[in-house]
Amino acid sequence: MKIYGTTTSPFVRRVMVVATELKEPIELVNTATDAGTKELEKVSPIRLVPVAVVDGETLFDSRSIHTWLLANRGTWGTWDSRENNLVNAIDAALHSILDLFYLRRDGVVIEGNAYEKRQLDRADAIFEWLGTQVSKGSFTGGFGLPELSLICALDWMEFRKAYPIENAAGVESVRTRWRDRPSLVSTRPHT
């Protein structure tokens, strides 16, 4: 599978981990380079990563790639409404913090403004809720998409220093539990 993406993106990492778990060989087209960006623009009008090209198909979005991998390469995890809720919440926190990261990176001053506060408050509320889900046992102890999505989000936020990770203390046990899993170790964010 050819994956267009970077070695830092939490969404790219998700599909790299699932592909690794399912023993699907990966060829990464690094979109952090100018050449890679041009390649991405040729395959996706959305211009977000990850994009996968496999068996003659082009797949936009980590969830489509995940769905394709499960349909074509074997079973990994399950996908019910409980998991969907957890992943939707994690995605919302991640998108809020990614937005702030991109604005800062592009030189937009957001410190202390209402938009920044709204995104940070959302992320705080989500991590607090996720903490209650850990306490209730909604993260069931297996390594599935909620656990993977959470770990990719936390590792990226820490790597980019984009969010005060101590605000997510209630979910830290999930990250600690899976820290040494080979598919996570080999895909840790790096430049």
Ligand X SMILES: N[C@@H](CCC(=O)N[C@@H](CS)C(=O)NCC(=O)O)C(=O)O
Considering only residues 4, 11, 127, 143, which one is a binding residue for ligand X as defined by CB under 6 A?
A: 11
Closer residue to ligand X in complex, CB, 7/128? 7
Cα separation of 22 and 88, whole Å? 23
Cα separation of 49 and 10, whole Å? 10
Per the rule left: phi > 0, alpha: psi between -120 and 50, beta: everything else, 137 is left
Query: Does residue 49 interact with ligand X by CB under 6 A?
Result: yes
Closer residue to ligand X in complex, CB, 10/144? 10
DSSP 88: H
Query: Does residue 103 interact with ligand X by CB under 6 A?
Result: no
Q: Which stretch binds ligand X (CB under 6 A): 8-16, 74-82, 111-119, 163-171?
A: 8-16
CB within 8 Å of 133: residues ≥ 6 apart:
86, 139
Q: Contact, 37 vs 14, CB < 8 A?
A: no
Q: Which stretch binds ligand X (CB under 6 A): 47-55, 82-90, 113-121, 167-175?
A: 47-55
Query: Does residue 99 interact with ligand X by CB under 6 A?
Result: no
Q: Which stretch binds ligand X (CB under 6 A): 5-13, 70-78, 145-153, 177-185?
A: 5-13
Query: Does residue 160 interact with ligand X by CB under 6 A?
Result: no
Considering only residues 1, 9, 155, 157, which one is a binding residue for ligand X as defined by CB under 6 A?
A: 9
Rounded to the nearest 5°, which phi and psi values hold at 26?
-120, 135
Q: Which of residues 62-81 bind ligand X (CB under 6 A)?
A: 62-63
Cα separation of 20 and 10, whole Å? 15
By CB under 6 A, name the binding residues for ligand X.
Answer: 9-11, 47-50, 61-63, 98, 102
